[in-house]
Structure 1
Amino acid sequence: MHVSDLPDRSQDYLKAIWTVTEYSGGSAPLGELAARVGQKTTTASEAIRRLANKGLVKQEPYRGVMLTPKGRELAVAMVRRHRLLETFLVRALDYTWDEVHEDAELLEHAVSDRFLARIDAYLGHPDRDPHGDPIPDAQGRVEKVEGVSLAAIGEGESATVEQIDDRDPQLLRYLADHGVVPGAHLTVPGSPVAGVLRVKVGDNEVTIAETGLEDIRVQRGD
């Protein structure tokens, strides 16, 4: 089975499962999948049932959704499409990193393997997209990014930004304006106060709502 043999919405769910589990390291809750794909939970449940019938996912009560080996193969193919397209839009067409997600979501269902290979070669075979997410190679190999969410960094600790989830354009614009981008070094001078965490990036101090901390993955230390 090729990923293009699946309906667009099934492709979306496979990619969403991969993305959620990539950040959490566990299974993907049905409610979060529904939110990412923009559907009701009941609709998401039916979509997951169809994927399970194809042998692409497994769902256990109270434990969320996991990809089977075949489902992982197809999900990685979709992730590769999405992240290469985001990188192309930024590097070749001067998109900003907060603009690319929506257009990549549309384009990823239409590109051929040949077109994607040409983009990959044109870009010099990048291994990370503009948000720091690893780009799977043509054989489906994916760099494993070690790290924790910014929420796990305690008072007085320092860290380097690795990945930032691309689903919230407003958060991405805010972070870019304040230098919180992949590769940036930051320190956490104190604990969250009133739902807001203060971090220092160079000489600048930035406040980030606790609701956005899980979208930022960092490596501890200098």
Structure 2
Amino acid sequence: MALRNRPVRREKPLPDADVHSQGFRQTREARRSALVEDYVELIADLIEDGNEARQVDIAARLGVAQPTVAKMLTRLCTEGLVSRKPYRGVFLTEAGRKVAEESRIRHQTVEAFLRSLGVSAETARIDAEGIEHHVSAETLEAFRKAMTAAR
């Protein structure tokens, strides 16, 4: 007997529309900020690795075309997160360094939590790239508490 066309029975009623829309708004905002955070975090990583953060290197590491990077760097400059100098790399402003650090901490927490569940290092690293942008401060704190309790 096929179950494809049968409606799924809900265990709880739908929440109030304002409450329900909050989750969708949060997800849309996370998507908007995810790309910015990925760029800023990568720029910080390249600089900390002892290299300049050059457009060509950013494109190679993100797997995108250089014109895509150029467009994003213009946006990041406008938002006050990076500065560029002719014939030099990209540099983070103080605000950019703050965004990069916050993103890195979220990433490390999510990755460590996934590893504590037995997820392989490679899968945890890849999954954390997406999850870090969508996880709330409350959930991150719960991850930290769970890891501390498991020790």
TM tier, smaller? 0.7 to 0.9
- Superposed CA RMSD: 2.1
> 1:120 — aligned with what?
144
**Distance (whole Å) between structure 2 residues aligned to residue 61 and residue 122 of structure 1:** 48
Larger radius of gyration: 2
Amino acid aligned to 2:104: V
Amino acid aligned to 1:76: E
Q: Secondary structure at the match of 1:95?
A: coil
**Distance (whole Å) between structure 2 residues aligned to residue 51 and residue 45 of structure 1:** 10
Structure 1: 5+ residue stretches without partners: 125-222
Shift in CA distance, 81/53, structure 1 to aligned 2, threshold 3 Å: same
> 2:36 — aligned with what?
10
* Percent identity over paired residues: 32
Structure 1 stretches of 4+ moved >6 Å: none
Which is richer in strand?
1
**Distance (whole Å) between structure 2 residues aligned to residue 96 and residue 80 of structure 1:** 19
Higher relative contact order (CA 8 A, sep 6+): 2
Please point out which of 20, 29, 32 is paired with 2:54.
29
**Distance (whole Å) between structure 2 residues aligned to residue 54 and residue 23 of structure 1:** 24
> 1:54 — aligned with what?
79
> 2:4 — aligned with what?
none
Deviation at 1:98, TM superposition (A): 2.0
Please point out which of 79, 96, 100 is paired with 1:75.
100
Amino acid aligned to 2:115: V
Q: How many residue pairs were aligned?
A: 121
Q: Secondary structure at the match of 2:121?
A: coil
**Distance (whole Å) between structure 2 residues aligned to residue 98 and residue 5 of structure 1:** 23
Contact 2:84 2:90 in 1 (8 A): yes
With normalisation by structure 1, the TM-score equals: 0.50
Deviation at 1:76, TM superposition (A): 0.7
Deviation at 1:65, TM superposition (A): 0.8
Question: Is it true that 1:108 corresponds to 2:132 in the alignment?
Answer: yes
Question: Is it true that 1:87 corresponds to 2:112 in the alignment?
Answer: yes
Contact 2:82 2:92 in 1 (8 A): yes
Which is richer in helix?
2
Structure 2: 5+ residue stretches without partners: 1-28
The one-character-per-residue Cα deviations of 1:190-213 (angstroms, maximum 9, x if unpaired) are: xxxxxxxxxxxxxxxxxxxxxxxx
Answer with 26-35 or 46-55: which moved more. 26-35
> 1:203 — aligned with what?
none
Amino acid aligned to 1:80: I
The one-character-per-residue Cα deviations of 1:97-130 (angstroms, maximum 9, x if unpaired) are: 1222211111111101111122223323xxxxxx
Deviation at 1:61, TM superposition (A): 1.8
